[in-house]
Amino acid sequence: MKDICVIGVGYVGLVTAAGFSDLGNRVTALDINEERVNNLRKGILPIYEPGLEEVVRRNVLAGRLSFTTSYAEGLEKADFAFIAVGTPEGVDGEADLRYVRDAAEAIAKAMVRPLVVVNKSTVPVGTGDWVAEIIRSHLAKPLVFSVVSCPEFLREGCALSDFHNPARTVLGSMDREAADKVAQLHLPLRAPIVITDLRTAEMIKYASNAFLATKISFINEIANICEALGADVKEVASGMGYDPRIGRQFLEAGIGYGGSCFPKDVKALAHMASVQGRNPQLLQAVMDINDDRTRMLVEHAESLLGKIEKKEIGLLGLAFKSNTDDIREAPAQKVAALLQERGAIVRAYDPVAMDNAARTIPGIRMCPDPYALAEGADALVVVTDWNEFKQLDLPKVRNLMRTPNLIDGRNIYEPEEMKALGFRYRGIGRGYNGAKPAPQPAGKGRAK
């Protein structure tokens, strides 16, 4: 059993604290937001993550997990301090490290014993060295410490499963002994452990996210071509995915990526490359394709409705993905804005994200369920692939709508089935979705 302090109780920090306490360690989760900490002490979580509330409650009752706003209390007995604070996007796409800096300074001032400081936040290459220098320059008295990079690879919506079943653990440090200590914490997870230097570990995180974002933008580019030529991108992706060199994951065409990681991390990596005089052409193309996805979705709506001014359009989903209430960089925000710019009346339903969305997406009427959303609607747009939407009573939905137009931004339905149910349907890259006939191959004669 080790004593661990986790700084920050957002998506990464709270899951990390709950996960390590569930492995039998004593964990103090620290946050300077008093309201958050007080709520956590009452069992009220600041985020929605399947299964997390139960794990937090279990470990609090067992005495392995506690919450504080005090660095002195959090670090009093700690062997490890995990920095898991936010690194929002800066003005030029760079990562904003103000919260990392504040945490490093506070750690230095509160340290009373040797400590391994672990960067869990996604930070630019070179941040580990910078954090070490901040701590060194703010120490109240000489103390031994080391900095280890341990980037997180948690997917919102299945973060607990990802914590307990990681594909790998990446560690980077200039102090091999410190890296080995952090490796020992992760041994119960029985996953491969990669130990390298600080900057390489930081780069692995950015390169991983950028590659996954590239796969998403690639298949969306293919979807555009499929729409033009009359091919079905779902079948294309399936056929591609059998190749082990390609794989099936992240080959799902749709509305594009969002959330707190991919948009921010691809921009940050492109920014780092540009600062160093490199030209990140592929990364720029990935971002351009993704930015174009919401416009394509609105164009599908216009192809069905003609002018969408004063038309009632319902959004099925607001969160950037299913099983989370996170609306950061959610495509729904851009879709709603584009529809409103064209004069549409926008309403929405999401199983868990409506409270968050109401604070950030103006002018949208929230509906209590999908059927209230459908009533009198001129069109519905699938924005988030919640399982609830896959199980809807579609004949009931069709009968409630003023005109049964459905734009499927996540390809959760089959075109022929939807048409058989009486919908005017548009998917993303789905077969003969109104495509123009492909040109015939040139030749002198006709094949017989």
How many Cα atoms occupy the beta-carbon half-sphere of 295 within 13 Å? 6
Cα torsion 388, 391, 394, 395 to 10°: value is -130
Please check whether residue 171 is in contact with residue 183, taking contact to mean a CB–CB distance below 8 angstroms: yes
Sheet with 145-149, edge to edge strand ranges: 65-68, 26-30, 3-7, 80-83, 115-119, 145-149, 169-172, 193-196
Please check whether residue 73 is in contact with residue 36, taking contact to mean a CB–CB distance below 8 angstroms: no
Pairing, β 26-30 against β 65-68: parallel
Ranges of beta strands (E only) in 169-285 are 169-172, 193-196
270: three-class secondary structure by DSSP: helix
Please check whether residue 373 is in contact with residue 348, taking contact to mean a CB–CB distance below 8 angstroms: yes
How crowded is residue 47: how many other Cβ atoms within 10 Å of its Cβ? Answer: 18
Please check whether residue 396 is in contact with residue 371, taking contact to mean a CB–CB distance below 8 angstroms: yes
Active-site annotation, residues? 261
Q: Which residues of 401-439 are buried (b: 16+ CB within 10 A; e: fewer)?
A: beebbbbbbbbbbebeebeeeebebbbbbbbebeeeeee
CA separation for the pair 122, 8 (Å, rounded): 13
The CA-atom distances, in angstroms, between 257 and each of 215, 219, 438 are: 10, 12, 30
How many Cα atoms occupy the beta-carbon half-sphere of 369 within 13 Å? 8
For 420, the token pair is: 């058989």
298: three-class secondary structure by DSSP: helix
Please check whether residue 261 is in contact with residue 330, taking contact to mean a CB–CB distance below 8 angstroms: no
How crowded is residue 99: how many other Cβ atoms within 10 Å of its Cβ? Answer: 18
